[in-house]
């Protein structure tokens, strides 16, 4: 039998540990609101298409920019998003968040469409600013009676998985046809962002 | 929690079903593992001993108020997560102090308000054994890592843990202490 090398073993263990973070709603550990907290947190970022397209676009752009942006942008986004979530939770007013969220789709879609290559810090700041508004919406729209940690875990995990989806799709960038398809996906995100921006402004 | 398999298994299950316990332990294990064997060994000892010490002091009635433990938990999520995400260079003693703080806070939080009894000491032993095992596994998996993407995955995980910590601070400000 072929033996697994240490990297494969580590990868398998990482996946297993991530799987261990999944909710435990069928176990005997009965604490009210736990599974509801995780699922409503997980559902929140994926229930709004304006969030989805922007977060997938972060992954697409990161993949297009290559190393180190491919992982710096998805690391930056949840951290700044959590700052926004914190502001939303403590009730700090942040006007125009819906417009900013829609605008994030427009800007990130345009960046992917035009294959923009700004310096890493510029890309990081741009993604960070949008992350702040996305996080604010999650924090401000928080349903009452949830388990704090599991709700937060759900929404951070969902956000990360949306980035990972974007990065995975963005890996087609290595082929010529993939580059074109990726720019097409950018156009799709741009149109989606413009649609939501129209809705937010009207 | 009661598994029906005795207090040691109750302790093991409690740790395994409490993300506020196992997430920072795994993150700290990855961080110490990335830093090397010296960091890992020292942190493993400090974390495990302090977890047991914190739990024991809570059983004896020496515990911090719930709000303090909640704030400390959130702060430790942020510290451990940021350290892993940034892969910062720390001396082994500082890494061990981070482990000791985590052990004290979470050990205390897990057993605060619980009466001292042989059964609960066994529960604490089960919990501490889980902490030892999970930290050791996480650190030992990370030490030999060579592939960039796995290191990146661990660091991305660290940023998620830090984000969780920041969100927990918001929850505490809005709703008060976290429920155990």
Residue A30 predicted with pLDDT over 90: no
User: In the 8-state DSSP scheme, what is residue A27?
Assistant: S
What are the residues whose beta carbons fall under 8 Å from the beta carbon of A128, sequence distance 6 or more?
Answer: A76, A77, A80
Residue A67: inside a domain: yes
Taking CB atoms and an 8 Å cutoff, what residues of chain A touch B159?
75-76, 78-79
**A138 near A82, Cβ under 8 Å?**
no
Please indicate whether, in this complex, the C-beta atoms of B167 and A148 are within 8 angstroms of each other: yes
Q: What is the pLDDT of residues B138-148, one digit of tens each?
A: 888 877 766 77
Distance, CA of B157 to CA of B116 (rounded, Å): 36
Distance, CA of B147 to CA of B61 (rounded, Å): 47
Residue A9: inside a domain: no
Task: Report helix, strand and coil shares of chain B as percent, to nearest 5.
Answer: 80, 0, 20
| Arithmetic mean of pLDDT, A121-125 | 84
Q: Binning pLDDT at 50, 70 and 90, where does residue A99 land? A: confident
Please indicate whether, in this complex, the C-beta atoms of A147 and B179 are within 8 angstroms of each other: yes
Residue A3: inside a domain: no
Q: What is the pLDDT of residues B159-171, one digit of tens each?
A: 889 988 988 888 8
Residue A60 predicted with pLDDT over 90: no
Nearest alpha-carbon partner for B20 in B95, B76, B63 = B76
Closest CA of chain B from A152, distance in Å = 6
| From A31-40, A73-82, B14-23, B110-119, the region with the lowest mean pLDDT | A31-40
What dihedral angle (degrees, nearest 10) is formed by the CA atoms of B46, B16, B11, A24?
150
Taking CB atoms and an 8 Å cutoff, what residues of chain A touch B79?
none
Nearest alpha-carbon partner for A66 in A170, A182, A189 = A170
Is residue A112 classed as helix, strand or coil in its secondary structure?
helix
Q: Binning pLDDT at 50, 70 and 90, where does residue A146 land? A: low
Q: Binning pLDDT at 50, 70 and 90, where does residue A27 land? A: very low
Q: Count Cβ atoms within 10 A of the Cβ of residue B117 and give its class: 0-12 exposed, 13-18 middle, 19 or more buried.
A: exposed
Please indicate whether, in this complex, the C-beta atoms of B163 and A82 are within 8 angstroms of each other: yes
* Domain count of the fold of chain A: 1
Q: Count Cβ atoms within 10 A of the Cβ of residue A122 and give its class: 0-12 exposed, 13-18 middle, 19 or more buried.
A: exposed
Interface residues on A facing B, Cβ-Cβ cutoff 8 A: 6-7, 9-11, 13-14, 17-18, 20-21, 24, 27-29, 31, 71, 74-76, 78-79, 81-83, 85-91, 139, 147-150, 152-153, 156-157, 160
Residue B145: per-residue pLDDT: 67
What dihedral angle (degrees, nearest 10) is formed by the CA atoms of A16, A160, A86, B29?
30
Taking CB atoms and an 8 Å cutoff, what residues of chain B touch A24?
17
Residue A16: per-residue pLDDT: 61
Residue A97: per-residue pLDDT: 81
Taking CB atoms and an 8 Å cutoff, what residues of chain B touch A18?
157
Q: Where are the alpha helices (DSSP H) in chain A?
A: 6-20, 34-47, 49-65, 69-89, 97-113, 120-140, 148-170, 176-201
Token pair in block for residue B99: 């482990």
Q: What is the pLDDT of residues B13-71, one digit of tens each?
A: 888 888 888 999 999 999 998 888 899 999 999 999 999 999 999 888 888 888 888 89
Q: Binning pLDDT at 50, 70 and 90, where does residue A201 land? A: confident
| Arithmetic mean of pLDDT, A188-200 | 85
pTM above 0.80, yes or no: no
Q: Count Cβ atoms within 10 A of the Cβ of residue A120 and give its class: 0-12 exposed, 13-18 middle, 19 or more buried.
A: middle
| From A2-6, A159-163, B171-175, the region with the lowest mean pLDDT | A2-6
Residue A1 predicted with pLDDT over 60: no
Residue A88: inside a domain: yes
**A197 near A96, Cβ under 8 Å?**
no
Residue A21: inside a domain: no
Residue A9 predicted with pLDDT over 70: no
What dihedral angle (degrees, nearest 10) is formed by the CA atoms of A118, B161, A159, B139?
90
Residue A164: per-residue pLDDT: 84
Residue B53: per-residue pLDDT: 93
What dihedral angle (degrees, nearest 10) is formed by the CA atoms of A29, A32, A36, A41?
-90
Domain span including residue A139:
50-201
Taking CB atoms and an 8 Å cutoff, what residues of chain B touch A19?
none
Please indicate whether, in this complex, the C-beta atoms of B144 and A150 are within 8 angstroms of each other: no
Looking at every residue in chain B, the average pLDDT score rounds to: 86
Residue B75: per-residue pLDDT: 93
What are the residues whose beta carbons fall under 8 Å from the beta carbon of A170, sequence distance 6 or more?
Answer: A59, A60, A61, A62, A63, A64, A70, A182
Residue A24 predicted with pLDDT over 60: no
ipTM over 0.85: no
Nearest alpha-carbon partner for B99 in B123, B119, B83 = B83
Q: What is the pLDDT of residues A155-189, one digit of tens each?
A: 888 888 888 888 888 888 778 887 888 888 888 88
Residue A149: inside a domain: yes
What dihedral angle (degrees, nearest 10) is formed by the CA atoms of B78, B79, B81, B85?
120
Distance, CA of B39 to CA of B92 (rounded, Å): 4
Distance, CA of B47 to CA of B56 (rounded, Å): 14
Residue A196: per-residue pLDDT: 85
* Rama region for B154: left / alpha / beta (φ>0; ψ in -120 to 50; rest): alpha
């Amino acid at each position: 039998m072929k033996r697994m090398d240490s990297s494969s073993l580590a990868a398998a263990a990482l996946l297993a540990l991530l799987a261990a973070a999944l909710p435990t709603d069928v176990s005997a550990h009965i604490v009210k609101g736990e599974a509801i907290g995780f699922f409503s947190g997980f559902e929140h970022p994926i229930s709004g298409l304006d969030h989805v397209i922007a977060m997938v676009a972060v992954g697409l752009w990161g993949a297009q920019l290559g190393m180190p942006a491919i992982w710096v942008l998805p690391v930056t986004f949840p951290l700044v998003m959590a700052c926004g979530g914190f502001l939303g939770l403590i009730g700090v007013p942040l006007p125009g968040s819906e417009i900013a969220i829609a605008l994030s789709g427009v800007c990130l879609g345009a960046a992917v469409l035009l294959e923009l290559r700004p310096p890493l810090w510029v890309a990081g700041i741009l993604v960070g600013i949008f992350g702040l508004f996305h996080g604010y919406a999650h924090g401000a729209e928080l349903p009452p009676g949830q388990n704090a940690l599991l709700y937060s875990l759900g929404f951070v995990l969902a956000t990360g998985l949306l980035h990972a989806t974007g990065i995975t799709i963005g890996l087609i960038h290595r082929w010529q046809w993939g580059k074109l398809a990726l720019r097409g996906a950018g156009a799709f995100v741009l149109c989606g962002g413009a649609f939501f921006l129209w809705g937010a402004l009207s | 929690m009661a598994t029906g398999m005795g207090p040691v298994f109750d302790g093991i299950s409690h740790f395994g079903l409490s993300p506020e316990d196992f997430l920072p332990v795994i993150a700290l294990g990855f961080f110490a593992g990335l830093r090397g064997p010296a960091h890992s060994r020292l942190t493993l000892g400090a974390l495990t001993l302090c977890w047991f010490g914190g739990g024991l002091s809570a059983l004896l009635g020496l515990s911090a108020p719930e709000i303090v433990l909640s704030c400390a938990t959130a702060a430790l999520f942020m510290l451990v997560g940021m350290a892993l995400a940034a892969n910062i260079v720390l001396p082994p003693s500082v890494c061990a102090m981070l482990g000791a703080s985590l052990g004290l806070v979470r050990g205390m939080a897990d057993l605060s308000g619980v009466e001292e009894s042989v059964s609960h000491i066994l529960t604490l032993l089960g919990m501490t054994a889980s902490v030892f095992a999970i930290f050791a596994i996480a650190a030992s998996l990370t030490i030999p890592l060579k592939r960039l993407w796995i290191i990146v995955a661990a660091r991305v995980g660290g940023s998620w843990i830090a984000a969780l910590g920041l969100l927990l601070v918001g929850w505490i400000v809005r709703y008060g202490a976290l429920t155990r």
